[in-house]
């Protein structure tokens, strides 16, 4: 479904990504793990069209989208849950969700998506009239995921969804991710919490200083001595 071929991304003179290639098949949950600053978020920004690739190609459902705008990619079915949640703090929960449905044109479709979001996240239904800034960090993360789902994406990009959350909300967030995966949602997950990410994923890639250095089934990566030492506390 999603194929990234040999992309390079730079910020000025700094080469952030070098020769990055990977695939995400329909219905898969694929994770990219790595240390802070390795370039994980830049990969998602490149896939979403928020930064330009100076080399390489990105294909979605067989179509070359390398030159497509982020808006065009959203219409094709790519959605992003950004790092730091980035909800609209002064809008209500319901209004935040409606912002995620901007590519939906039929009122019935929007209402259906809203009902699905409330089904996945009952706490959001309870708080639908509260403004975003009054929610806890965990509830804001649920809102960010629900908002991304409002466009009925074919693939959802998740950027550091556990960052800054209390342990109880980290558990809750990964329960949601696993639930979405079981429902057949295609997910590309970028995550510093390697243990949780590998437990949830089908396959994984390890990113170090802008390059993919390992890739395998998630279970096998979790047992790899190099991965255990660097990302799993040697356990």
Band the pLDDT of 173: cuts 50, 70, 90.
confident
pLDDT higher than threshold 90 for residue 216:
yes
pLDDT tens digits for range 18-43: 999 999 999 999 999 998 889 999 99
pLDDT higher than threshold 90 for residue 116:
no
pLDDT at 217: 97
Exposed, middle or buried: residue 85 (CB in 10 Å: 0-12, 13-18, 19+)?
buried
pLDDT higher than threshold 90 for residue 138:
no
106 compared with 86, residue with greater pLDDT: 86
pTM score, two decimals? Answer: 0.89
Query: In terms of Cα–Cα distance, which of 29, 33, 32, 24 is closest to 59?
Result: 24
pLDDT higher than threshold 90 for residue 223:
yes
pLDDT at 176: 87
38-57 average pLDDT score: 95
113-127 average pLDDT score: 89
Out of 128-137, 139-148, 201-210, 224-233, the most confident range is 201-210
pLDDT at 144: 92
CA–CA dist 218, 227 (Å, integer): 11
Average pLDDT of the residues of the chain = 91
pLDDT at 109: 80
Query: What are the CB-based long-range contacts (under 8 Å, 24+) for 221-229?
Result: 222/195, 222/198, 227/33, 227/194, 227/198
Whether residue 4 contacts residue 21, with contact meaning beta carbons closer than 8 Å, is answered with yes
pLDDT higher than threshold 70 for residue 78:
yes
Domain 2-87+153-231 homologous superfamily, CATH? P-loop containing nucleotide triphosphate hydrolases (3.40.50.300)
Band the pLDDT of 197: cuts 50, 70, 90.
very high
Centre a 10 Å sphere on the Cβ of residue 36 and count the other Cβ atoms it contains. Answer: 9
pLDDT at 36: 87
pLDDT higher than threshold 60 for residue 199:
yes
If you write DSSP's letter for every residue of 44-75 in order, what string do you get?
Answer: HHHHHTSS--SEEEEEETTEE-TT--HHHHHH
pLDDT higher than threshold 70 for residue 234:
no
6-28 average pLDDT score: 95
């Amino acid at each position: 479904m999603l194929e990234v071929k040999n992309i390079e991304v730079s910020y000025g003179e700094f080469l952030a990504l070098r020769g990055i290639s990977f695939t995400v098949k329909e219905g898969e949950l694929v994770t990219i793990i790595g240390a802070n600053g390795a370039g994980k978020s830049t990969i998602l920004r490149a896939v979403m069209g928020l930064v330009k690739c100076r080399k390489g190609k990105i294909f979605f459902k067989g179509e070359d989208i390398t030159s497509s705008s982020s808006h065009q990619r959203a219409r094709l079915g790519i959605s992003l849950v950004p790092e730091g949640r980035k909800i609209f703090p002064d809008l209500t929960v319901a209004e935040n969700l409606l912002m995620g449905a901007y590519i939906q044109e039929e009122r019935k479709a929007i209402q259906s998506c809203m009902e699905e979001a409330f089904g996945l996240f009952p706490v959001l239904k309870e708080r639908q009239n509260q403004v975003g800034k009054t929610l806890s960090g965990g509830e804001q993360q649920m809102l960010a995921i629900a908002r991304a789902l409002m466009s009925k994406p074919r693939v959802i990009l998740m950027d550091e969804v556990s960052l800054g959350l209390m342990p109880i909300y980290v558990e809750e967030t990964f329960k949601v991710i696993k639930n979405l995966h079981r429902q057949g949602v295609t997910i590309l997950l970028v995550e510093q919490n390697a243990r949780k990410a590998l437990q949830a994923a089908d396959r994984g890639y390890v990113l170090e200083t802008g390059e993919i250095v390992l890739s395998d089934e998630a279970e096998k990566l979790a047992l790899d001595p190099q991965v255990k030492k660097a990302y799993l506390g040697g356990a």
